[in-house]
A and B are shown apart, each in its own frame.
Chain A
Amino acid sequence: MSLGLLVIGLNHSTAPVQVREKITFPGDGEGAVTRMIAEVDGIEETMILSTCNRAEIIAIADDPSSAGEGLIQAIGRIHGISPDPIRPHLYFKEDLEAVRHVFRVASSLDSMVVGEPQILGQVKEGYKRAACVNATGPILNRLMHRAFFTAKRVRSETGVGLAAVSVAYVAVELAKKILGELKDKAVLMLGAGEMAELAARHLSTQVDKPIIVINRTYQSACNLAGLLGGSAIEMEKLDDGLSSADVVITSTGSRDPVILSDQMKRIMRRRRFRPIFLIDIAIPRDVEPEVNEIDGVYLYNIDDLQAVADENAGERHQEALRAETIVAEEVTKFMNWTKALESAPTIVALREKLEGIRSAELSRCNGKLARLDPAEREIIEMITRAIINKIAHDPISFIKQSGTRARRNLSLDMAQRMFKLDGFVSTLEPGEEERTENEPHHRNKR
C-alpha cells in the first residue's frame, strides 16, 4: 500500500551551480510559494526545502507517479522558466526511498559538506513556513518530527558534526581551541587576498570587534576595511597591530617574510604572553616558520589547515557510516508506523457501507413511515444507527486488534472481502481512526 510520499528536487550532486542558482523558490518568506505548490492537483500535503545546495519539494500525493508532472510544471511557473532544461537534473523518490532521503538530508548526511550543522535549521524553517500556511498534514507532520529526532540522534550519538572539514571552518575551530570564546577577540588582516578575505568574513561572524586591515598601500586597506566593516591602519603600525590582535591572517604578496621570529618575541613580551593565532595564507609565506616555536604563538599555514581538513573529512566519513545505521533504524520505525495506519481506510469504508445500507433501507420505506410524527421518526433513526454501530463494533475491533503485520494483513483482506469493500482507495490518518472523516487534510476517496 502506498504512503503517497514523494520527494522531487535537485542538489549539488545532480545539478551544476548554474541550475541550482535558478531554482530558489523566491518569495516564499511567508510561505506563499508553498501554498501554490499545495494547490497543485492531487497534492495533499507539501513543504519546500531550499538551500544554496538543494531545492526540494516534499509532498504527499494521491497518486505520486502522476503528481510529479504537476509539480515540475509548478516549479517552472514559479520561476518563470521552461521546466524542460531542469528535468534531467531532478530526482524523484517515493515512499521508503523518500523517507530515507528526508531523514538523511535532515541529519546532514546528504550535504555537500557532510555533517555541516546548518541544514537542520533550514529544514525546520521550510517545515515551519509550510505549517504556517496549512500546507502540512498528519503524514508530513509525523515525517518531519521523526526527521528532527533522527538528526538529533545522529548529532549526539556520532561524531559526524564534530570535525571541521573546510579550511575556513578549521581555522575558526582552531582559534576557539586556542583563545576560547571569540566574541571579544580582535582580528587583524595583513594583506588583501581572496582567500584571506574569505577567512576573515568567516571569522567576522564570530567576532564582535571590527576587523583591522593593514596593507602595503593604505588606500586598498581602507577599501577592504570598508567591505568588511572594519578599519584600516598603516603598515608602519604593524607592531601595534600585532600587539593588540588575537587572530592574524596574513596574505601579502611580499617575497620575504613580513613577520620575523625576533620581532614576534619582542611583541609577545609586549602582549604579556597573551596567546596569538597566526594564519599564514600567503605563498611564499609571510611568517617565518620559527615563529611557531615561540611560547604562546600558534602558527598555521594554508597547507597545515588543508591537512587538518582532509584528515577530518576521512574521520567524518567513518562516523557517517554509523549515522547511516541510525537513519536506517529510524526509517524502519517510521514505516512500521505508517503500516499501522492502513486499517483506517478499511474501517472507514466499512462504516460508509453500513451507513449506506441503512439510509437506503430507510428511504425505501419512506412512504410507510410518512404517517409517523417527527419524534417517532427520530427514534427510528436512533435505533437503526445503534444497530449498525453494534454490528460494526466487533469487526472493527477485530481489525484494530490484529497484532502482527501478517495477521493484520489477513484480517484486513478478510474484512474487505466479507463486506465487499473493494474499490476503495487508501486513506491515511495518524492517531484515532474515528477522526478520519473530520480532518481537513485527509485524502478520502470512496
Chain B
Amino acid sequence: MDLLFFKIAVVLYLGASVSYLAFLLVSSSNRAPVGFWCAALGFAAHSLSILHRAIFSGFFPLASAFDVVSLFAWFVVGLFLLMRYRDPSPIFGSIAVPLASVLMLFAASFSYQIKQPLLPIMKSWWLPVHVILAVAGNGVFALMAIGGLMYLVQEWLIKTKRIGRFHRLLPSLEILDTINRRGLSLGFFLLSLGIISGALWAGSAWGFYWSWDPKETWSLITWFAYAAMVHQRVALGWRGKRAAMMAIFGFGLVMFTFVGVSALLGGHHAFGTTGKGITGP
C-alpha cells in the first residue's frame, strides 16, 4: 500500500511511453490520444502518490533520493502536459514521457524509507523551498533540451530536404525556438532562486552561506552555462541551432550536477551518505 499510487503512475507512464513510441514509429495521423490520456492519468496518480507521501511522512516528502527523483519526473510530465495545450504536436511526448518513465524507475531504485529520526536541519521550511525550486528548474531544462533535440532533427531534415513523415510530425522550427526562449528565461530564474535559497538555508543552519561543496560548485558552473546562454540570446541574438545545441549541453551539466556529483563526488548533498547528514540534491 505504501507505494500504490506510485506504482500505478509508473505503469501508466510506461503505457503512455509505449503508446507514444508506437505513435512515433507507425502513426499516420498526427494524433496520439491514448498516450496523452495515459500520461494525464499517470500524472494524477503521481500527484496522489506525492500527496500520500506527504501525509505519511508528516512533512514535505523530499528527504530521500526516491522522493526528489520522483518529483523531477513529476515536473517533466506536468510541464509536458501544460505544453500540450499550446502546441498540439504529440511527438514531444515520445521523448518526454519515456524520460519521465526512466526517472520513475530510477527513483524506484532508491529506498523509499525515510531515515528516522529526521535530522533537525531537515525540518526547516527551507527544504521544500530549495528542493522544489531546484527540481522545477531541472524539469524546465529537461523540456528545453528535448525541444533542442527536436529542433536539431527538424532543422537537419529541412536543410537536407528530407521532407517526409518525421518532418510533418515535428513542430515548426519557430515553435521549437520559442520553447527554447521561454524555457531559458523560466529555467534560469528557477535555478538562480534554487541556488540563492540553498545559500540562505545554509546560512541560517550553519552560519555560512557557501562552502564549495561539490554540488554547490557544479550548480554554479551550470548557472554560468545558462547565464552565458541568456547573454547569447539577448545580446548576440543567437537562436535556432546554436541555442538548441546549448540547451542540450546545459541539460548534460544539469544531469551531472543532479546525479553524477552525488554519486561520484559526495559532499553534504549526497544521497543517503552520512556527511553532514543531509540527503537530497
Q: Do A and B bind each other?
A: yes
Which residues of A are interface residues toward B (Cβ below 8 A)? 156-159, 162-163, 170, 174, 176-181, 272-275, 292, 295-296, 298, 300, 304, 307-308, 311-312, 315, 319, 322
Decide: A179 and B172 in contact? CB cutoff 8 A.
yes
Residues in A with CB closer than 8 Å to B174 are 178-181, 275
From residue B176, how far is it (CB to closest CB) to chain A in Å? 10
Give CA–CA (A308, B160) in the complex, Å: 12
Chain B, 130-179, CB within 8 A of any chain A CB: 154, 158-159, 161, 163-165, 167-168, 170, 172-175, 178
Nearest to A319 among chain B residues (CB) is: B28
Query: Which stretch from B111-119, B233-241, B272-280 is at the chain A interface?
Result: B233-241
Which residues of B are interface residues toward A (Cβ below 8 A)? 28-31, 154, 158-159, 161, 163-165, 167-168, 170, 172-175, 178, 237-242
Give CA–CA (A312, B163) in the complex, Å: 8
Additional A-B contacts beyond A180-B172, A298-B159, A312-B163 (7; CB < 8 A): A158-B28, A162-B28, A177-B167, A177-B172, A275-B173, A295-B241, A322-B28
From residue B58, how far is it (CB to closest CB) to chain A in Å? 49
Nearest to B239 among chain A residues (CB) is: A273
A contacts with B: majority SS: helix
Decide: B164 and A311 in contact? CB cutoff 8 A.
yes
Residues in A with CB closer than 8 Å to B159 are 292, 298
Nearest to A163 among chain B residues (CB) is: B168
Residues in A with CB closer than 8 Å to B168 are 162-163
Decide: A275 and B240 in contact? CB cutoff 8 A.
yes
Decide: B161 and A296 in contact? CB cutoff 8 A.
no
Decide: B31 and A296 in contact? CB cutoff 8 A.
no
Give CA–CA (A158, B31) in the complex, Å: 10
Residues in A with CB closer than 8 Å to B163 are 170, 174, 308, 311-312
Decide: A273 and B172 in contact? CB cutoff 8 A.
no
Decide: A308 and B28 in contact? CB cutoff 8 A.
no
Give CA–CA (A286, B174) in the complex, Å: 26
Residues in A with CB closer than 8 Å to B29 are 156-159, 162
Give CA–CA (A400, B238) in the complex, Å: 74
Decide: B238 and A273 in contact? CB cutoff 8 A.
yes
From residue A155, how far is it (CB to closest CB) to chain B in Å? 8
Decide: B158 and A174 in contact? CB cutoff 8 A.
yes
Residues in A with CB closer than 8 Å to B241 are 295-296
Residues in A with CB closer than 8 Å to B167 are 177
From residue A218, how far is it (CB to closest CB) to chain B in Å? 33
Give CA–CA (A178, B151) in the complex, Å: 10
Residues in B with CB closer than 8 Å to A296 are 239-241
Give CA–CA (A370, B195) in the complex, Å: 109
Nearest to B174 among chain A residues (CB) is: A180
Decide: A177 and B158 in contact? CB cutoff 8 A.
yes
Residues in B with CB closer than 8 Å to A177 are 154, 158, 167, 170, 172-173
Q: Which of A272, A304, A315, A322 contacts B161 (CB 8 A)?
A: A304
Nearest to B167 among chain A residues (CB) is: A177
19 contacts between A and B (CB under 8 A): A156-B31, A158-B28, A159-B29, A162-B30, A163-B168, A177-B167, A177-B170, A178-B158, A178-B174, A179-B172, A180-B174, A273-B238, A273-B239, A275-B174, A275-B240, A296-B241, A298-B159, A311-B164, A312-B163
